[in-house]
C-alpha cells in the first residue's frame, strides 16, 4: 500500500467527517453558512476518494486517465464551492449570492465536465511510470492534454478569488482568518504542484489531497469554534435568563405583596374617610349642644356641672383629634402649600419636640442642601416630629448602658428627590410590627400611652404630598424611617394618591344611611321658632338671613338653635332640592351646606347655586366631616368656596359667616367704595 493511497485515505476520511459535522451544524439557526461549507468539504472528499481509488487499482496509464478526468470535474466543482462560500450574504441563500458569481461557478463546472468526457482531456503515456524513491510503489504516468490543462485555469482563478476574499476579511480584522490564509497558501502550492505533475513538468506524487486537508481544516475549525462560542454565549444567556426570571419573579412577588399592601391601606383610607364623615356629624350636634349647656345660668352656677361639662368638651376634642388623624389619607394638601426647605422643617420639628427628649439622648443632626419641595409646612413638621418621637422612644426604652442615639439627616436621592432620614440605635422593627406599619392603632408603646396613630398620620401626610415613606431596619441595627418628597418643580397628578408607592386610597362612594324618621319633613324648613332654646339669644339679632342645608336632622336642629342664638335668621333643610325650591320664592344673605349628602351632594348643590343664584354661590360656606369621593376632594380644592371642618363651635361658625359676608360686601363694593 503506497503513499498516494494512504494520503488519499486520510484526506477523504477527514473531508467526509467534516462535511457530516458541518451539515449538522448548518441546521442550527444562524449557521446556514456551515451547510454551504459542507459542500466544500464534500467535493474535497470526492477528489480524495478518486485519488485513493486510482492509486489502489490503476496499473496502466490508460487506467490512470480516468482519475484525471474525474478529478478535473471534482477540482472545478470544489473551487466553485469555495467561490460561492466566500461570496455568501448574511442570509446564506442561493439567491442572495450575486448573479455573476453564480453563473461563473455553474459555467466552470459545465466546461470541466464537457472537457473531462471528451477524448481531448488526457494523454496516456504507455510504459512510463511515476516513481519517487522512498514514497511507495511506482504509479502509471498520464498527462493532461492541452485543452484540459487550459481548463485547470478555471479552478485556479476561483481559488485565487476566494483567497483574495479571505485576505480582505483578514485585513478587516476578522478573528481566525489568519490561519485560513496560511492554509489557503499551502493549498494553492499543492494545487499548482498537482497541475505541474499532471502536465509532466514535475516528477513527484500528487499533493492536492494534502492541500485539501490544509485549507478545509482551518475553516472547519473556525466554524466549529464560532459554534462553541455561540454555545457558551447561549449557556451564559440561559444562566442570565434564569437569573432574570428569578429576579423578575421576585419582583412580581414583591409587586403582588405591594398591591396587597396598597389594597389593605386603601381599605383603611376608605374606612377612615367614612368614619370621619359618620362620626363628625353626630359630634357636631354634640358640640353645639354642649355650647348651649355651657351658657345656661343654672349650669354656670354649678361647679360640679361645669367640671363634668369640661370633661365632655375634652372628650369631644379627643374624638375630633382621633378622627382628624384617621382622615389624613383622604385630606388634600390644600391651597396653602408653598416651596419649603426640608432643613427648615427639620429645625422646626426639633424645636417643637425638644422638650420631649431626655438629656441622655444624643440627637445628631446632619443637614445637607436638598431641593425645595412643595407642601404644607405645619403638616410636614408634624410628620418629622412623629418620626423623631418614635425614634426617641425606641432608644430610651432600651436597658441602661445601651447607646441612645438618634440621627436625622437630609439628603438628595438618586432620582433627585429631597429626603429626610431618621435613624436610631434602638432595637429596630420586629417582623410582626414591620408588616403592619402604617395601620391605625398599631403601636409598640401601648404601655406609654401610645395610640398607634403616629405612623399612620406620618404615612398619610407623606402620601398627600406625593412622596414615599420607607421604614426598614438598618444593617448595623436600629430602625430607619425615610421621607422622600419630589422637588417643587415636579408636576404631580391632580390625585396625589396616585403618586405614592403604598397605601393609595381609591375613590369611593359616600356611605349610605339607613332611612330614618325625622320630626320635620325634608321639604319643610326648620326655623328658630320651631326649635327655640329655653334661653334668650346671647347676642342681639343681626338680621342675617341664612339657609342651612344638613341631611342629618339632629345636627340641623342643633345648627338652627345655635345660630339662632347668635342672632341669625336660619332656614334649615335636610334636602338640597327643597332649599333650592325655597330660594325661588324667598331671599337669603348666605348659604351654608354640608358636603356629603344623599341625593344632591354639596358640590352639586353649589353648581345649582352658581347657575340660578350666583351671588349666593360666591358666599357659599361648606361644612364637611370628611370627603370620601374624588369629586368631593376636587370640589374642596376650589378657591371659590370656604371649607370648614366639623365639629365646629357655634361661635366659630358665626364668626366665619360674618367674615364671609363682610369680604363679599367689600369685593362687590369695589375699591372706590371701600373705606
Q: Once rounded to an integer, what is the mean pLDDT over residues 153-181?
A: 85
Res 579: pLDDT: 92
Residue 266 lies in a domain: no
Q: Are 536 and 511 in contact (CB under 8 A)?
A: no
**Average pLDDT value for residue range 227-248:** 86
Answer whether residue 670 shows pLDDT above 70: no
List the beta bridge partners of residue 375. Answer: 338
Q: Mark whether 144 and 199 lie in a shared domain.
A: yes
The greatest distance separating any two alpha carbons of the chain, rounded to the nearest whole angstrom, comes to: 155
What pLDDT band is residue 591 in, cutting at 50, 70 and 90?
Answer: very high
Which one, of 646, 655, 649, lies nearest residue 627 by Cα? 646
CB 433 within 8 A of CB 467: no
CA 223 to chain centre: 41
Residue 468 in any domain: the answer is: yes
Domain of residue 653, CATH code: 3.40.50.2300
144 lies in the same domain as 37? yes
pLDDT level of residue 139 (50, 70, 90 thresholds): low
Per-residue pLDDT, 638: 74
Q: Looking at residues 444-458, what average pLDDT do you find? A: 60
Percent of the chain at pLDDT exceeding 90:
10
Residue 209 has pLDDT above 80, yes or no: no
pLDDT for residue 419 is more than 90: yes
CATH of the domain at 466: 3.30.565.10
User: By residue range, what is the domain housing residue 401?
Assistant: 338-499
CATH of the domain at 14: 1.20.1070
Do 450 and 563 lie in one domain? The reply is no
Q: Based on the domain organization, do 27 and 170 belong to the same domain?
A: yes
- One domain for residues 169 and 63: yes
Beta bridge partners of 496: none
Answer yes or no: do 490 and 550 share one domain.
Answer: no
Q: What is the mean pLDDT of residues 537-555?
A: 73
For residue 420, pLDDT over 90 is answered with yes
Q: Is the domain of 95 the same as that of 198? A: yes
- Beta strand extents in 515-653 (DSSP E only): 545-549, 569-573, 590-594, 621-624, 642-645
Instruction: Enter the C-alpha cell of residue 99.
Output: 448573479
Last residue of a domain, one of 224, 246, 269: 224
Average pLDDT over residues 364-387: 87
pLDDT score of 556 more than 70:
yes
Check pLDDT > 50 for residue 265. yes
Looking at per-residue pLDDT, the higher value among 500 and 151 belongs to 151
Over the chain, what is the mean pLDDT?
A: 76
pLDDT tens digits, one per residue of 92-118: 677 778 888 889 989 998 998 898 888
> Is residue 91 included in any domain, yes or no?
yes
Peptide bond between residue 615 and the one before it cis (omega within 30 degrees of 0): no
What mean pLDDT do residues 199-208 have?
A: 70
Residues 492 and 573 placed together within one structural domain of the fold = no
Is 457 found in the same domain as 552? no
Whether residue 287 is contained in a domain is answered as no
Indicate if 175 and 90 belong to the same structural domain: yes
The confidence band for 675, taking pLDDT boundaries of 50, 70 and 90, is very low
Tens digit of pLDDT for each residue in 605-615?
Answer: 989 999 999 88
Higher pLDDT, 159 or 670: 159
Decide if pLDDT at 73 tops 80: yes
Confidence category of residue 592, pLDDT binned at 50, 70, 90: very high
Asked whether residue 571 falls in the same domain as residue 666, the answer is: yes
How confident is the model at residue 674, as a pLDDT? 31
Least confident of 155-169, 251-265, 463-477, 489-503: 489-503
How does residue 522 score in pLDDT terms, banded at 50, 70 and 90?
A: very low
657 in a structural domain: yes
Contact 357, 392 (CB under 8 A): yes
Domain boundary among 224, 257, 291: 224
Q: Name the domain count of the chain.
A: 3
Residue 422: the pLDDT is: 92
More confident: 438 or 215: 215
141 found inside a domain: yes
Distance of CA 267 to the CA centre of its chain: 24
Residue 637 belongs to some domain of the structure: yes
pTM of the model: 0.42
DSSP summary character for residue 28: S
Are 102 and 170 part of one and the same domain?
A: yes
Domain boundary (466, 499, 532) is at 499
Check pLDDT > 60 for residue 134: no
Q: Residue 276: phi, psi to the nearest 5?
A: -60, -45
Is the residue at 524 inside a domain? no
With a cut of 60, say whether residue 443 has pLDDT above it. Answer: no
Q: What does residue 398 show for φ and ψ, rounded to 5 degrees?
A: -80, 160
Amino acid at each position: 500500500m503506497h503513499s498516494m493511497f494512504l494520503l488519499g485515505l486520510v484526506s477523504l476520511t477527514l473531508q467526509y467527517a467534516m462535511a457530516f459535522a458541518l451539515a449538522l451544524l448548518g441546521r442550527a439557526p444562524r449557521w446556514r453558512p456551515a451547510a454551504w461549507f459542507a459542500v466544500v468539504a464534500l467535493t474535497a472528499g470526492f477528489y480524495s476518494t478518486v485519488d485513493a481509488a486510482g492509486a489502489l487499482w490503476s496499473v496502466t496509464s490508460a487506467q490512470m486517465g480516468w482519475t484525471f478526468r474525474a478529478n478535473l470535474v471534482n477540482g472545478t466543482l470544489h473551487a466553485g464551492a469555495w467561490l460561492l462560500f466566500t461570496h455568501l450574504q448574511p442570509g446564506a441563500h442561493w439567491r442572495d449570492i450575486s448573479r455573476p458569481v453564480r453563473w461563473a461557478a455553474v459555467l466552470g463546472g459545465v466546461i470541466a465536465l464537457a472537457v473531462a468526457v471528451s477524448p481531448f482531456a488526457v494523454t496516456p503515456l504507455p510504459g512510463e511510470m511515476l516513481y519517487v524513491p522512498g514514497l511507495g510503489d511506482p504509479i502509471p504516468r498520464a498527462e493532461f492534454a492541452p485543452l484540459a490543462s487550459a481548463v485547470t485555469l478555471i479552478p485556479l482563478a476561483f481559488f485565487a478569488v476566494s483567497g483574495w476574499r479571505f485576505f480582505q476579511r483578514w485585513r478587516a480584522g476578522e478573528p481566525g482568518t489568519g490561519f485560513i490564509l496560511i492554509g489557503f497558501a499551502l493549498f494553492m502550492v499543492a494545487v499548482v504542484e498537482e497541475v505541474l505533475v499532471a502536465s509532466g513538468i514535475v516528477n513527484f506524487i500528487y499533493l492536492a489531497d494534502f492541500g485539501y486537508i490544509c485549507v478545509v481544516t482551518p475553516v472547519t475549525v473556525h466554524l466549529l469554534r464560532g459554534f462553541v462560542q455561540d454555545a457558551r454565549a447561549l449557556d451564559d444567556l440561559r444562566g442570565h435568563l434564569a437569573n432574570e426570571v428569578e429576579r423578575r419573579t421576585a419582583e412580581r412577588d414583591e409587586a403582588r405583596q405591594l398591591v396587597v399592601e396598597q389594597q389593605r391601606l386603601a381599605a383603611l383610607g376608605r374606612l377612615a374617610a367614612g368614619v370621619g364623615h359618620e362620626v363628625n356629624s353626630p359630634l357636631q350636634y354634640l358640640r353645639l349642644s354642649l355650647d348651649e349647656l355651657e351658657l345656661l345660668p343654672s349650669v354656670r352656677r354649678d361647679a360640679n356641672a361645669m367640671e363634668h361639662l369640661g370633661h365632655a368638651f375634652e372628650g369631644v376634642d379627643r374624638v375630633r383629634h382621633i378622627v382628624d388623624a384617621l382622615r389624613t389619607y383622604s385630606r388634600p394638601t390644600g391651597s396653602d402649600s408653598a416651596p419649603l426647605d426640608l432643613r427648615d422643617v427639620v429645625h422646626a420639628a426639633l424645636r417643637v419636640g425638644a422638650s420631649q427628649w431626655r438629656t441622655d439622648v444624643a440627637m445628631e443632626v446632619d443637614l445637607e442642601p436638598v431641593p425645595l419641595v412643595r407642601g404644607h409646612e405645619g403638616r410636614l413638621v408634624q410628620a418629622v416630629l412623629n418620626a423623631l418621637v418614635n425614634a426617641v422612644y425606641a432608644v430610651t426604652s432600651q436597658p441602661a448602658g445601651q447607646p441612645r442615639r438618634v440621627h436625622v439627616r437630609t439628603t438628595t436621592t438618586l432620582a433627585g428627590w429631597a429626603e429626610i432620614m431618621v435613624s436610631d440605635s434602638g432595637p429596630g422593627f420586629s417582623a410582626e410590627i414591620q408588616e403592619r406599619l402604617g395601620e391605625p392603632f398599631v403601636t409598640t408603646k401601648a404601655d406609654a400611652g401610645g395610640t398607634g396613630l403616629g405612623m399612620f398620620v406620618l404615612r398619610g401626610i407623606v402620601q398627600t404630598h406625593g412622596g414615599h415613606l420607607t421604614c426598614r431596619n438598618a444593617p448595623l441595627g436600629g430602625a430607619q424611617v425615610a421621607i422622600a418628597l419630589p422637588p417643587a418643580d415636579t408636576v404631580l397628578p391632580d390625585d396625589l394618591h396616585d403618586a405614592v408607592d403604598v397605601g393609595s386610597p381609591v375613590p369611593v362612594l359616600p356611605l349610605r344611611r339607613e332611612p330614618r324618621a325625622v320630626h320635620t319633613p325634608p321639604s319643610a324648613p326648620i326655623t328658630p321658632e320651631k326649635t327655640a332654646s329655653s334661653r334668650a339669644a346671647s347676642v342681639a339679632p343681626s338680621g342675617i338671613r341664612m339657609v342651612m342645608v344638613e341631611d342629618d336632622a339632629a345636627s340641623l336642629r342643633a345648627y338652627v338653635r345655635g345660630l339662632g342664638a347668635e342672632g341669625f335668621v336660619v332656614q334649615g333643610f335636610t334636602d338640597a332640592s327643597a332649599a333650592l325650591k325655597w330660594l325661588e320664592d324667598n331671599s337669603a344673605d348666605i348659604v351654608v351646606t354640608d358636603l356629603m349628602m344623599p341625593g344632591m351632594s354639596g358640590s352639586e348643590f353649589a353648581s345649582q347655586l352658581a347657575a340660578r343664584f350666583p351671588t349666593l354661590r360666591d358666599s357659599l360656606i361648606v361644612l364637611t366631616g370628611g370627603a370620601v369621593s374624588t369629586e368631593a376632594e376636587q370640589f374642596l380644592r376650589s378657591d371659590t368656596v370656604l371649607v370648614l371642618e366639623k365639629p365646629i363651635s357655634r361661635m366659630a361658625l358665626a364668626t366665619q359667616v360674618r367674615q364671609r359676608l363682610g369680604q363679599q360686601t367689600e369685593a362687590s363694593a369695589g375699591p372706590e367704595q371701600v373705606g
